Amino acid sequence: MITEALLHCAGVGPKRLAQLHAHGIRTWIDVLNQPNGLPKALGRALISESQRCLTALDAGEIQYFTSRFASQDKWRILTHYLDQASFFDIETVGLEHDAAITVISCWHRGSLHHFVEHENLDEFLELLDDIQLLVSFNGSSFDVPRVLDTFHIPELPCAHVDMRWTCFHQGLTGGLKEIGQGAGIVRPRDLQSADGELAVRLWSAWRSFQDHAARELLIRYCASDVLMLVMLARQQAGRQDVPHDTLWAQLPEAPVSELITAPHSDDIPTHRSANQSFGAAFESMFGAGSPQRLRARRTKLVV
């Protein structure tokens, strides 16, 4: 499939691609084997680029393709290199473009890895050095810029594919949760209503009140997005040999209960059971304000 990527070649658009297909030219090998069937104006450029692509394919230079392929063809990279792909997601203190990272989860070589601010966040850089292809959802716009800024690095040391756009070009639109639901991927019950705003509240509860259950749920939520990406990528690649339940079993266990100690804060619940909604618990703590208001309230509580 990856060898059928021709839209990135100079002068090749949808109409020209259809003409090439009509002449039996669909792959880089076809271009090299049938030079007489190529348009004269494009022949030399097509042959040169096909040769470069085959060389990069033999050498495993994934970044050659991620930096050159047309957006419509990047799904081919993910499909071809699925076994080498690592999937990641981040959580932040807010939804702004410059919000600080709190948690990173990454599926790498068949295992989940978790990195938490003030604990081991810098170790994600070491993992990056071992990654060949990093996969995200909307990472080009959010996750990757936050990683570059947080770790003060000019660029990723590996290739990157943003599945938001591979999904878009396959007619799958919306957020990750919406796309996953449409694909029949069902999250564990305790995470079905979790979202980015709850992640902000969970981090506030952990940092402000040392609520270990909030920390555990935040990591579990972040990891669930990563595993959903893994499942979605395998579906798109026609690789459904690993049951969803097997992958969900890799999640950290759901927290059961937690005591919160916050002197002088009468409006904060002192106990939550496993059956109580975390969303409801944190709504009572912070209200339904924006992330900016949540942080302001948190600062006031800990002063």
- Per-block mean pLDDT, blocks of 10 residues, the chain (303 long): 96 94 95 91 93 98 98 96 98 88 98 98 97 97 96 97 95 94 94 92 96 97 98 92 94 73 36 43 45 42 40
CB atoms within 10 A of CB 21: 13
How far is residue 208 from each of residues 73, 84, 112, 272, measured CA to CA in Å? Answer: 45, 39, 27, 17
pLDDT of amino acid 189 = 93
Task: Report which DSSP code applies to 72.
Answer: G
Tokens 């076994």 locate to 83
pLDDT of amino acid 257 = 53
Which residues lie below 8 Å from residue 154, measured CB to CB, with a gap of 6+?
Answer: 148
* Contact assessment for residue 87 and residue 107, using Cβ atoms and an 8 Å cutoff: yes
Of 267, 255, 248, whose CA–CA distance to 206 is shortest?
255
Query: Whole-angstrom Cα distance, residue 31 to residue 18?
Result: 14
pLDDT of amino acid 40 = 86
Which residues lie below 8 Å from residue 46, measured CB to CB, with a gap of 6+?
Answer: 6, 9, 11, 12, 31, 38
H or E stretch covering 172 = none
Query: Whole-angstrom Cα distance, residue 61 to residue 150?
Result: 27
Grouping H, G, I as helix, E, B as strand and the rest as coil, residue 198 is helix
pLDDT of amino acid 223 = 98
* Contact assessment for residue 82 and residue 239, using Cβ atoms and an 8 Å cutoff: yes
pLDDT of amino acid 37 = 86
Query: Whole-angstrom Cα distance, residue 83 to residue 126?
Result: 20
Query: Whole-angstrom Cα distance, residue 250 to residue 110?
Result: 9
As given in the structure block, the two tokens for residue 168 are 């878009």
pLDDT of amino acid 39 = 87
Query: Whole-angstrom Cα distance, residue 289 to residue 284?
Result: 11
**Domains located in the chain, CATH noted:** 2-59 (1.10.150.20), 82-302 (3.30.420.10)
Beta bridge partners of 70: none
* Contact assessment for residue 118 and residue 125, using Cβ atoms and an 8 Å cutoff: no
pTM score, two decimals? Answer: 0.84
pLDDT of amino acid 144 = 97
pLDDT of amino acid 299 = 42
Query: Whole-angstrom Cα distance, residue 252 to residue 220?
Result: 6
- Cα four-point dihedral sign 77, 78, 80, 85: positive
